[in-house]
Structure 1
């Protein structure tokens, strides 16, 4: 009986050692060269300042076709046909339209309380981060980080109405 218990313990220990040895051979960092990715951490060196291009210049250089490509992210909830509301309001003619006035769509209180119209500045702020521009909005989209993408989408939306 003692022999069987000792053999079981020593056998399990041997399997563990062989598994450890095989794992070290397969995943030994020095043998594989450079890591395939690195995680950036904060450094003590000051970051280089990137010159920010004014949004008006981005709008002047905006590409409608690129905006249509970026708009695919929005098309799950928004339609571009007049009066065709989805989970979000239709966006045909949105540039220049008063905020929260799409026919047949029930807006959240956050947008219903906003005054003004969807001009370039308002659309830029909203598309950058909807929850910051209209706190309490029911729009779950996190926003478009790249200003070029926002300018392209606004140019695309502006091209929809004649």
Structure 2
């Protein structure tokens, strides 16, 4: 069935296919990376450069000023905060049951690690002892920035009024 000539053809076909892939990889590398001398650490070379004219006429967008807690909390609306809480429902509950995060009923004024059946990361305890309205306001602006290493992966609430409204709503929940 398999004679020497058939076996030679099969081996030649496999070696030929390997050679085509090897040469194709070499050719693609030469075309897209830029030829010889492109090993790591030998400098960066672009295959082509697109020149972009300098535009000096535009002004940078003004940075948004941080709204202090006192100013934002003066006009806080708990009913608007209930709508903001929709962002929190996927991880937190208000019925005393833990989800991905600890339950939030009674969180305002509660010690940071007060939920006994939730495994905290320990990062929050280094920053704050009790969840005051101001600590919550700052934490909700950017949890990872406020307490690096926290388990809360939510990026935060950018709008100060949303944070203040949410805290006003959370303050109405019982512990």
TM range (shorter): 0.5 to 0.7
Matches within 5 A, 1:102-117: 102-117=115-130
Distance in 1 (CA, whole Å) between partners of 2:148 and 2:90 is 22
Matches within 5 A, 1:6-85: 44-45=58-59, 47=61, 53-82=67-96, 84-85=97-98
Name the structure 2 match of 1:133.
146
SS at match of 1:139: coil
| TM-score relative to the length of structure 1 | 0.66
Structure 1: segments with no counterpart, 5+ residues = 1-40
**Given the alignment, which residue of 144, 147, 155 partners 2:160?**
147
SS at match of 1:153: helix
1:59 to partner: Cα distance: 1.1
SS at match of 1:150: helix
Distance in 2 (CA, whole Å) between partners of 1:115 and 1:51 is 24
1:115 and 1:51, CA in 2 relative to 1: closer, same or farther beyond 3 A? closer
Distance in 2 (CA, whole Å) between partners of 1:133 and 1:43 is 36
| TM-score relative to the length of structure 2 | 0.61
Does the aligned pair in 1 maintain the 2:143–2:156 contact within 8 Å? yes
Does the aligned pair in 1 maintain the 2:111–2:131 contact within 8 Å? yes
1:117 to partner: Cα distance: 0.4
- Equivalenced residue count is 121
Name the structure 1 match of 2:7.
none
Matches within 5 A, 1:83-102: 84-102=97-115
Does the aligned pair in 2 maintain the 1:67–1:152 contact within 8 Å? yes
1:155 to partner: Cα distance: 0.3
Does the aligned pair in 2 maintain the 1:94–1:158 contact within 8 Å? yes
| Residue 158 of structure 2 is aligned to residue 159 of structure 1 | no
Structure 2: segments with no counterpart, 5+ residues = 1-54
